[in-house]
Amino acid sequence: MNKYQEVAARAAKKSGKILIKKYEQFDRADTKLKSAHEIVTKYDILSEKIILSEIKKNFPEHAIFSEEKGSNNKKSDYLWLVDPIDGTTNFSMHNPIWSISIALAYQGEIIMGLVYAPILKELFSVSKGKGAFLNNKKIKVSNIKSGKILNTFCHGNKIKDIKRAIKYYTKQKLNHLDCRQLGSAAIELSYVASGRIESIAIPGVNSYDVGAGVLMVREAGGKVTDFKGNKWDLKSRDILASNKKVHNILLKNLKNI
């Protein structure tokens, strides 16, 4: 397990060092549209190349699923999930809330994860059964269950998912303290795990966006399901992650959305 973490951390820090420099110089005019609701930069590609190279060098037989390259089509019990820049829009507008997310699943179960926010100098790491950490200090979810609840949300790039997210946002914004979209699902999941916020809901999720964060929340004492309350797995299309205490009420709010 330690070797997996070491490789992931080395890859993320190597990429992050370069991305910090590019972030400071970046001109938003250089972005390209990947879809009507999603952009990509040449630094997403560069970051992915660095990370995949490190993984392939150390674990050549492992399967990989990454945001830009997709699947490497290898059959293996081990699957790496890689998002080279989670929060590309934030990166493009010089907002520091973006991250590198790397996770490893074994036979469909996530066993290791890492979320690195270079500008914020925060490295969230987790191993199954060993807890979740921020810069090597153990973290846990919040105990807040009413009143001061802070919820976040995100969405996939399909119109139906965006509409569902807007409905959820409206319901939460009108009936609870707040509901925000920070722009990096990996960071938002890490914030749930570290007790900074109480939840994140995402209709239309991709496993490479949330793989590391899912294990982070679980190991920090939280709960992660789909919108029907079933345990989240790599095939799930929706995700609700929380501190556990607010989970049931949020599932009710997600009903019929």
pLDDT digits (tens, 9 = 90+) for 222-236: 999 999 999 999 999
Give pLDDT, residue 1.
56
Taking a C-beta distance cutoff of 8 angstroms, is the pair 182, 97 a contact?
A: yes
pLDDT digits (tens, 9 = 90+) for 76-127: 999 999 999 999 999 999 999 999 999 999 999 999 999 999 999 999 999 9
**Is 176 a residue whose pLDDT tops 80?**
no
Average pLDDT over residues 138-147: 95
Instruction: Say how far apart CA 217 and CA 230 lie, in whole Å.
Output: 16
The number of helix segments (H) and strand segments (E) in the chain equals: 7, 15
**3-class DSSP assignment, residue 99:** strand
Reported as a pLDDT band with limits 50, 70 and 90, residue 55 is: very high
Residues 6+ apart with CB under 8 A from 109: 128
| Percent of the chain residues topping a pLDDT of 70 | 99
Burial class (CB within 10 angstroms; exposed 0-12, middle 13-18, buried 19+) of 148: exposed
Give pLDDT, residue 118.
97
Domains (range + CATH), the chain = 2-138 (3.30.540.10), 150-254 (3.40.190.80)
Burial class (CB within 10 angstroms; exposed 0-12, middle 13-18, buried 19+) of 149: buried
Amino acid in the structure at residue 123: L
> What's the token pair of residue 173?
């914004």
pLDDT digits (tens, 9 = 90+) for 6-37: 999 999 999 999 999 999 888 888 788 777 77
Strand ranges, E, within the chain = 32-35, 38-40, 63-66, 70-71, 78-86, 99-106, 109-117, 122-127, 131-134, 137-138, 150-153, 178-180, 199-203, 223-225, 238-242
CA-to-CA separations, 251 to 153, 156, 190, 199, 228, in angstroms, rounded: 13, 19, 20, 11, 7
> What's the token pair of residue 23?
């972030």
**Is 251 a residue whose pLDDT tops 90?**
yes
Q: Going by DSSP bridges, is the β-strand pair 122-127/137-138 parallel, antiparallel, or unpaired?
A: unpaired
Query: Residue 168 belongs to what H/E stretch?
Result: helix 159-175
**Is 151 a residue whose pLDDT tops 90?**
yes
